[in-house]
Structure 1
Amino acid sequence: MHFDSQPANAWTPPGPAMLFCPADRPERYQKALDRSDVVILDLEDAVSPEDRVTAREALVANPLDPDRTIVRINPAGTGDYRRDLAAIGDTNYRVVMQAKAEDVDSIIDTALQTVALIETPLGATRVNDIAAAVNCIGLMWGAEDLVAGLGGKSSRFGPSEERAGQYRDVARWVRSSVRIAAAAHGRFAVDSVHLDINDVDGLVAEVRDAVALGYTATACIHPSQVDHIRAGYRPSDDEVEWARQVVDGSAEHKGGVFSIDGQMIDGPVLRQAEVVLARAEALENVPAGEPAAEA
């Protein structure tokens, strides 16, 4: 096994909105890329087993910008996994997302920069080891396969329950574990999809929470969700102004403790301000999207 820090030339998402696109629908490839920051061409769940040969042929025949494309491959140990990697070898794509990641060796085995998708009970228990793999550049998590693996029936509370629409605690634990493991090993983290396309308030609330926890991006399944994700990740003018005051004040006070409008500013707050400015700079050339609706 090989473990190392993040490679100096590791790929990072150019924006926060990652849109899934079935790999057997090449007529949608460019449209999906045009509407998002990153397109995830899906060879796994979005494609029926009998259509995967066609999907791989389409993947090779319809190239997209490799700097803005991820290919989701099938789980390790399957014939589809090997055939997926062989097809990618005929393209310029260099980033894959390994579905149902459970094993460190299978991440290394891709020989590509890999986003590990943590969506099974075994994967969740091994997330720290997986994040440490030398070619693991990021982590994402998924709720539905996780719950299926638990023998459960729903990742979220039902409409008649007190926390209607919110994730159940086991799903939230995996979401937190993925975020912590990614941070511990210097990997970026991608939040899971919000399956209810019409639930804009729920999507906005989850995006806000993801941003508060330091997620880098949120995946989505429909173009209508992209603008809400972009708006949620973009710091407001007030946040940017506060962050600049904190950074400038820290320089003036030579890193010592000081206050702004009654708020004590110390090392942790300074780092939070630096993150806000870094996020604003990273999103400078990303379309602004629509203002997020109140949750």
Structure 2
Amino acid sequence: MGPALLFCPADRPERFTKASDRSDAVILDLEDAVRAEAKATAREAVLASDLDPTRVIVRVNAAGTEDFRHDLAMLARSPFRTVMVAKSEDPAGFAAFDDDFSLIALCETARGVQAADRIAAHPQVVAMMWGAEDLVASLGGTSSRRDDGAYRDIARYARARVLLEAGARGVAAIDAVHIDLEDEDGLEREARDAAASGFRATACIHPRQVEVVRRAYRPATESVDWARRVLEAARSERGVFRFEGRMIDEPVLRHARSVIDRAD
């Protein structure tokens, strides 16, 4: 799965193919993007879709809700087996899924972020994502960002915690959406930081954000060339060694391998 994941409202089936074609994977959203009265229609649209299941994620409603139960019943009849669980707060709720489902846990409330370690440890969780706006709302706040556009400390903490717990369990971490569609420079800065920090992907809410994210995750040619050179040099070295003016040890070599992985 590539770095740019694109949300698409599940009640807009006319957008499904375009969203899939323009992104690395499409997230068919049965939760916040769909009004309550349209959720049944949205489920039927997902069920009728002929998208490639390997490039589809279905975001379901929060565990324990009536809509969640209806979502599960629909998924059982569908070919889609990668599911994003909205407002994940307790891994016990994942017991509702059969073993053939792969789960992306969306930690977007105070309880969800607090339980990120236990959520990441669940055997069916393959990725973790965090959400800024729902998190701040769960705390009674009004904005996840300061006037200069930077995240408030609580959002930065949640972002770091989800990334850390995902990494500790060897699962992928997905960065939150950038809701200011006009701020492409801000999106690119955040996506570059996400890639450098260890996130595997960034979620998008508009097709025009996809290429910005891809560009941000794509390592510079100079970085790739250096990574290849240092890894080649490491084949004939033991332990710590000097290369092009830098001291190289195993953590630096792991960074280089990550650059090559992203480039490939």
Q: TM-score range by the shorter chain?
A: over 0.9
Distance of 1:212 and 1:280 partners within structure 2: 13
Per the alignment, in what secondary structure is the counterpart of residue 264 of structure 1?
strand
Say if 1:108 and 1:133, in contact at 8 Å, map to a contact too: no
Give the corresponding residue for 2:34: 47
Distance 1:110 1:181 in 2: 22
In the TM superposition, residue 236 of structure 1 has moved relative to its aligned partner by 1.3
2:88 to 61, 76, 101: 101
Deviation >6 Å, runs of 4+? none
TM-score, with structure 1 as normaliser = 0.88
Q: CA RMSD in A?
A: 0.8
In the TM superposition, residue 90 of structure 1 has moved relative to its aligned partner by 1.2
**Conservation of the 8 A alpha-carbon contact between 1:99 and 1:117:** yes
Question: Which runs of no fewer than 5 residues in structure 2 stay unpaired?
Answer: none
Pairs within 5 Å for 1:265-280:
265-280=248-263
Residue type matched to 1:202 in 2?
A: G
**Matched letter for residue 168 of structure 2:** A
Whose helix proportion is higher, 1 or 2? 2
Partners of 1:107 and 1:191 lie apart in 2 by 22
Residue of structure 2 in register with 1:148 after alignment: 137
Q: 1:231 aligns with which of 192, 215, 227?
A: 215
SS of the residue corresponding to residue 252 of structure 1 reads coil
Please state how far the C-alpha of 1:249 moved relative to its aligned partner: 1.3
Q: Measure, in 2, the Cα distance between the counterparts of 1:252 and 1:107.
A: 48
- Equivalent residues in 2 for 1:1-295, closer than 5 Å: 14-111=1-98, 112-158=101-147, 164-254=148-238, 256-281=239-264
Is the deviation greater in 270-279 or in 94-103?
A: 270-279
Give the Cα separation in 1 of the matches to 2:158 and 2:182.
Answer: 25
One-letter amino acid of the counterpart of residue 268, structure 1: P
Unaligned runs of 5+ in 1: 1-13, 159-163, 282-295
Deviations 1:262-293 (A, max 9, x none): 11111110110011111111xxxxxxxxxxxx
Amino acid at match of 1:142: G
> 1:90, 1:39 → 2: CA distance?
19
Distance (whole Å) between structure 1 residues aligned to residue 134 and residue 97 of structure 2: 22
Displacement of 1:258 after TM fit?
Answer: 1.4
Distance in structure 2 (CA, Å) of the matches to 1:210 and 1:231: 12
Following the alignment from structure 2 to structure 1, what is the Cα–Cα distance between the partners of residues 19 and 91?
31
Q: CA deviation at 1:38?
A: 0.4
